[in-house]
Structure 1
Amino acid sequence: MADVAPIVNLDFAASTPLRHEAREAERTYDASPIAGANPNALHRLGRAAAQSLEEARRSIARSLGARIRPSEVVLTGGGTEADQLALLGIAEGVRERDRTRTRVVVSAIEHDAILDNLPLLRAAGFETALVYPNRQGVVEPGALRDLMGRDVALVSIMLANNETGVIQPVRELAAVAHEAGARIHTDAIQGYLHIPFDVGELGVDALSLAGHKVGGPVSTGALYLASRTPLRPRVFGGGQEAGRRAGTQDVRGALALAAVARALGPHVAEERCRVGALADDLYRRLLSHPRIRASMGDPFQVDRLPGIVSVLIEGADSQELVLRLDAAGFAVSAGSACSSGSTAASHVLRAMGLTADEAAGSLRISFDDRVDPSSLTRFADVLRDMV
C-alpha cells in the first residue's frame, strides 16, 4: 500500500472512511462459523447465514421508515447497481403491464449512474426526457408536470444532489408522477443517513442507497422497492433476492451496512443540525471573499445536505485548485468523483444555468459528523489566501 502524506479528507461526498461499527461487524462475521457460508444453502451453516442476512435486511428496512417491510429491500452490489436496476428494471416492468407507457423522465442533475443509462433505455425502445432545475438547483413540481403524460412509465429524481447538496421536493414530485399514473424512483445515495426521511412519507416507489457514502463498505447498497412495483430483473442466474437480483448475497457487507444503519439512524436529525452548522459557518467564511460565491446563489435560502459546501471561484480553474489544495494538505473535489477524469464543466451546474466559465471554477467540500471543526477553519483560510 502506497504511503500517503498527512492530509485532511474533505471529499466525503465521493466516499467515506469505514466506520468503527462496520469494521466490528466484519470482524465478528469473520470470526463466526458462518464466515463464507452461502445463505442459500440448505445445511445449518447456510440457514444461519440466511438468518443473519435477514437480520441485516430488517435493520436496513427500519432505517428507511417505520412501515417498510424487509421484503421491500433488495440488496445490491452498490448504489450504481441499485440505480440501474430501478431505472431499467421498473421502466421495463411497467411497459410489460401497459404497452403505451414508453417514456422515462429524469432530472438533468442526476448522477451519471442514472444519466449514463439513458442510451440503454432508448435502445430498449423508450423515449427519454430531462426536467431541468431552477437557478437554485431545485426541480420544481410544475416543471415536472409540464413533461408528464399518460405515456410516462417512470420518473427518476434524486433526493439530494451530490455536487451542490441541494435537497429536492421529492414528496411533491412523487405526487405529480402518480397523478399521471407513472412510477417514481429517487436516488437517495447522497442523502441516506445524512438527513431524516421516511420512505413511506416520501411516497416513492423505489429508492437507492449505498454503504460507502455513510461509512459502510464499498460495493454494498440496496434498492427499496415498494410492494407490487413492477420490475424486470437485470441480472439472472440463481433467483436470489426473491428473483429480483441474482447472485450470492454478500452477508459480510450486508451486516456491516446494517451496523452503520443501526448506529446512525437514531441520531440523523441531531447530527444534521450539528454538521449543518459547520457547513453554514464554512459558507460564511468563504463567501466573505469577493471572488467566492455559492453555486446555488444564497445557500441560506435553499434546503441543503448538512455536509456539502459547493462554491464557485471567479476566474479560477477548479482542477488546478484541487491540485494546489492537495499540495496544501486538503482533499476536495471539483465535482462528482465519478466524473473526475473529465475536463468538461459540471453537467449539474450547467443545468442550473451557469456558464461554462462559471462552472469551471467550482469546488465541492464535503464531510460528515467525524470532521474536526478546526480543519474547516484552516481550510477556509488556506483557500481564501490561495484565491
Structure 2
Amino acid sequence: MIRPPTRPNASAPNLLRPVRTTRPRVLHVSPLMFGEGGIVGGGERYAYELARAMAMQTRTRLVSFGEPLTRNVDGLRIEVFRPVAYVGRKRLGPISPSLAMAIAWADVVHVHQIETFLTDQCVLIARLFGKKVFLTDHAGGDRNFNRRLGTVDRATGLLLVSHFNARGYRKWASKVRVIHGGADPARFRPLPGLARMEKVLYAGRLIPYKGIHHLIEGVHPETAVILAGESYHAEYRAYLDVVSQGRNVTFLGPLMGEDLVRTYNSSAVSVLPSVETDMYGKKYPKSEILGLVLLEAMACETPVVASRIGGMMELVVDGETGLGVPPGDSAALGEAVERLLGDEKLAREMGRAGRARVAANFTWAAVARRCVAAYAGDLGEEIPDP
C-alpha cells in the first residue's frame, strides 16, 4: 500500500537550514592583521579588540589577510587567508575565495576600513547572501570602487568611531551610529608597585602626521622623552634623529602587552601630538579620528596631552583627564607637558579621573554591546556641527 507523504514535523530540526538563535554570528573583516607579524595601527587594533570582546557575548570570527593562520583567543576564532591577488598598492584590497565562505557563515558582517576594494567585495557578497553588513571607517584607504558600486548605500549601517568621523557621512545619517573605541581596564591598569618617572611617552607609529617632532622640540632638552613605536617613514625617522641630538630622547621600538602597560605606568605623561598638515605639507583631513592610545594611557591613570583635532577631545576632558593643545604648536605642547611634570598632585588627579572616565564610558565590553545593539537596528545619529 502506498502511503501518502507525511507532513513535516514543525518542531523537528531542518538539517538543511541553519538553526537561528538570538545571538548573531558576527564576522569581522580587516584587510590587515593586528599584532606580532601584523600591523600595530589603531584600525587593526580596534578590529581585534572589538572582536575579542564581542566573542564573550556572541559567536564571533575575525578574518584578515596575509600568511595563513588560524588560532583561537579567548573564544575568538582568528583566520588569516592568503590572497590570490591585491587591488591597490597598500595591500588593502585582497582577493581571496575564502572570503565568500566566511561571509556565508555569518549573520552579520562588520568590515573595518571603508575606502577599500575589500569593503566593496564584502558588501556585494553579503548582500547577495542576504546578510546584514556594517562598515567602520578607520581613516585608511586604497584603490576602491565605493562610489561606482554604491558600497555605502548598500551597507546596512555605519558604525563610526567619533562624531568628528561621522561628519563626513551626513548623507547617510539615518544609518549611522557613533561608537567610540575602548580600552580594557583589566589589562591597562595602574601598577602600584611601579614608580612614575619624570619622563614623557609617545606610543604609536613614527610617521609624519603624528607630529612627534613637535613634542621633541617643545619640551626642555633635559626632559626624558620615550618614543615607543615602529617607523614606517624612513625620511621622517631620520629627521627625528636629527632633532633629537643634544636631547634626552629614547627610541624603544614597538611595545605590546605588559611591556606597554609598564611603560604607561612608569611615565608621568602620555602625549599624542598629531597634526592635520605634516612637515612636508601633506594634509590629513582624517588625521586622528579617535586615538586609542589616549584611552589606554588614561586606563593606566597616566594623564594625557593631545592635539585639539579629530576625535581626540571626545575622549579627553580638557583640564580634567588631560590637556588639549593647538596642533603643530611646539611651545604650547611643551608648556602643557612641563605643567604636568611640575605638578604631581594635578597629574595624579587627572590620572585617576582618566581611568574613571574609561571605566564608565570606554570599555571594549561596552563597545561590543553597543555594536550588537546596532546590528539589531539601533541606528540613526544626530551629527553635530564642528
Q: Normalising to structure 2: TM-score of the pair?
A: 0.32
Q: Normalising to structure 1: TM-score of the pair?
A: 0.32
Task: For CA contacts below 8 A with separation 6 or more, give which structure has more relative contact order.
Answer: 1
Structure showing greater radius of gyration is 2
Query: By percentage of residues, which structure has more helix?
Result: 1
